[in-house]
Structures are given as C-alpha cells and as structure tokens.
Structure 1
C-alpha cells in the first residue's frame, strides 16, 4: 500500500516550481497523481475525460484504415491524451512534444502510471521542445528526425485555455497568423484539436474559422467526485481543406 501522500519529484524550472505528487483517495482507495506548476494545479489523474476526449474528437474526422495516420500531441503531462491516441488502430506514428525535461523523465523512469505504456510503444516518440516555437516554424516542424514533416492531426493540451495561458509568449499561437502557421504542418484534410478548461469561446472559434475549412467547439461533461456535481471542458476541432493551402491572411 502506498503512503497517503508522497511527493515523487520536485524541481525548479524557468516556468516555476514543478512537482509531481501521489496521494491516496480516501473515497476510492486509489492512487491519484497530481502535477503542480507554482501555485497552479496543471493536471490530475482524477480527471482525464477531457484529455481522452481530445484524442477521440481530434482523430474522429480522419479517413483511412489501420496504420494510416501520423499524429502530434503537444503537451505530455500524465500521458492520457497520448495513450488514447495510441489506442486508435489508425495511428501509425505519434510524436509527443514536451517542453519540460522533468515530465519526460517521469515517464521514462516509470514514476507515472502510463509511462511504461508510452515508452514501450514503438510508434511513440517523446521529444523535448517548445511546441509553440515549433508550430511557428514549418521548415523545421515538430519532428527533429524529419524536418518539414507533415502530420494528419495535431492535438494540443498545454495552456488552460486560449485566454488563460501558462506563459504570455503563447498568446500569438491562438491568433489567425499562429494558427495558419500550424495548419501548414498538416496534410490537406488534416485536423487540429485543442483542449480548454474554459467554456467555448466564440472569438477563438471564429479565429479557427479564418484559417480552417471547418471549426467547432465540443463541450465534454463529466462527473466531479470532489464536488459531487458535473464539470466540463471544451475541445475545439478544426479541419484543413482536403485540397489547397490554409485560408490566406486578409492583411
């Protein structure tokens, strides 16, 4: 039996103090893994519905059979989005981009429940990098082993929402110019999907609509064992036109 509470890792980063904690849930008796950055909770294994919905909704529009899709996940976290992606038989390869080396090491050292699953899957590579910087640079792209490579889907779970950012430098990504640079790294017909902890924002859906052929926001509701009520996340899904480049800027 594990301890009621244990800090598995703590270290300073340029984004703040990062900690991985494990506690035993008194109601279920199960271990709960939590990640904090500074004073903010980034994620908890108690709430994973939004992360798995990001994979499901983001991959749902893709055509093709088994082994036909190459996918990027921006933000590794506890690994629930990446693990859900790998459960889809259409996925041929997965590149997970994570800025914090500590998070990569948690998985490689088996400190988090899904670490062994992700690192043992030959389709999956964990890459250290700044997702937002890589999204701006289509010539380099997300795969350091194949510069300029395009993907069928890019799924992102990093900031709390397009407005509630972990760092102000991320803001330009959520504008049409930033989204257009990301869209250039998708194959025609490719999908961009984004997790958000806020309700759907019409302004962001409109920004997606300026770049992509189709865009919509999905509300993902789930039971909250802490409150006894219901909580919700948002998953935005946008699809590039099956032919031609992303929509041009009007500037």
Structure 2
C-alpha cells in the first residue's frame, strides 16, 4: 500500500528551507510530488501541462537548427529545473541538440541526480543535458557566453509575484533586453506564469520583441473537480527601437 505522506528531502538554502514531499492523493488516485520553499508552495507533479507546454509552444515556432557543424541542432536554456517537466519535454524534441538547465538550488539538482522523481528520471544522465548551479537572473544580466535558440523560464509565480525581490528587475523592458542578448537573432523567449495573461507585462514584451503570443494552458484539476489554467508567454525577434 502506498504511503500517504513521505518527506523525501529537506535542506536549508539561502532563500529558505526547501523540501520535496511525496503523498498519495485519493482524488487523483496517484502519488504526487510537491516542492515547498519555507511555507510557500512552489510546484506539484499533479499539474504539469503548462510546464510541458512551456517547452513545446516555444520550440514549435522554431525551425530546426543547422544540420551539420558544431552548432547543429537547437540549443535551449531552461531557467529553473524544478520537478523537471519543462526540461524533459524539451529533450523529447529530436531537434534539441543541447540543453542547459540553470538552477539556483543545489538540493533541486541533487534530487534529479539521485533520480527521486520518476516522471523525469534520466535528465542528469542524458548526454544532451547539462545541469548547472547558478543564478539565472545574474547570468541574464551578464555578457552572453553562449547564444540559444530558446530560453524557457519557470522560476517565479508570475512577473509580479517573484520568489525574491532581486528577480523583479528581470521583468522590465531593460531586463528582457538583456535576456534577448543571449538569444540567436530569431531565438524565442518563453515564460510560465501562474496568472492569466497580464496586459502590462504583454506591453513590456511588445517593447522588446517583434512577435508575442500569450497562451492560456487549461487543464483538469482533480482537487476541485473543475478546470485550472496557467499562461505561457512566447516572444521572438527584436522590436524596432
């Protein structure tokens, strides 16, 4: 019989205590993996449609990368590893040749290296995938070392509800322009958000990028018996200045 609750890991971090928990959800009739940072709920394996769509919606607008040479295939950067669903979905696209995943929290990287998460097992050993401990936002503010065909970001709850005040500057026009410098000329920036499309943030994206679409991603919610939704923003190219 499945355990009703098990704490798989609990570790201190500079942003607070982070924990990985597994519990049996009778409504969903399955084991659910959840992450909490202090008292704040971060993510759950019960709701992964939008995390996967973050990868698929962004990659769907890209052509394949070069067929030959050192830059063959698509190069993708994921900001925020979490439970690994975005990275896992990106690696399911055969055009992806290299995937860098930047994660601030050492415990989160450790969970994947120990393969505590069965749905996304294998990320740490996939030869195309490189797990990097770093501050994504610091990296985006620095001079580019590499350029990517896609940058997929899922760290904060929304552009207005950030996990740390230092993240807020990223969601301004200047912050997004810095991020765009890390993209190839036709590269794509995509962002997961827990809220419906926000007109103010859409306007900010339009300042920076030539194309922008906001995709509500709806999914069944076995807890409420109804439907929930997240948003995936997808932006591409550079706006004329």
Shift of 1:158: 0.2
SS state at 1:41 partner: strand
1:196 aligns with 2:196: no
The match for 1:163 is: 160
Q: 1:22, 1:168 → 2: CA distance?
A: 29
Contact 2:54–2:192 (CA<8 Å) still a contact in 1? yes
Q: 2:171, 2:38 → 1: CA distance?
A: 24
Cα deviation digits, residues 156-189 of structure 1 (max 9, x gap): 0000000011011101100000000000110011
1:34 aligns with 2:34: yes
Contact 2:88–2:120 (CA<8 Å) still a contact in 1? no
Q: 1:119, 1:247 → 2: CA distance?
A: 40
Structure 1 stretch displaced more, 190-199 or 4-13: 4-13
The match for 1:218 is: 215
The match for 1:118 is: 123
1:5 aligns with 2:18: no
When the two structures are superposed, what TM-score results if normalisation uses the length of structure 2? 0.94
Q: 1:188, 1:15 → 2: CA distance?
A: 35
Q: 2:147, 2:121 → 1: CA distance?
A: 27
When the two structures are superposed, what TM-score results if normalisation uses the length of structure 1? 0.90
SS state at 1:43 partner: strand
Shift of 1:92: 0.6
Contact 2:115–2:122 (CA<8 Å) still a contact in 1? no
The match for 1:79 is: 84
Contact 1:49–1:222 (CA<8 Å) still a contact in 2? yes
Query: Where do residues 120-135 of structure 1 align in structure 2 (5 Å cutoff)?
Result: 120-135=125-140
Shift of 1:29: 3.5
Please, which runs of 5 or more residues in structure 1 have no aligned partner?
Answer: 142-147
Shift of 1:247: 4.6
Contact 2:27–2:223 (CA<8 Å) still a contact in 1? no
Contact 1:152–1:191 (CA<8 Å) still a contact in 2? yes
Cα deviation digits, residues 75-103 of structure 1 (max 9, x gap): 00000000000001110100000000000
1:235 aligns with 2:240: no
Shift of 1:14: 1.4
Contact 1:107–1:114 (CA<8 Å) still a contact in 2? no
Please, which runs of 5 or more residues in structure 2 have no aligned partner?
Answer: none
Q: 1:3, 1:221 → 2: CA distance?
A: 30
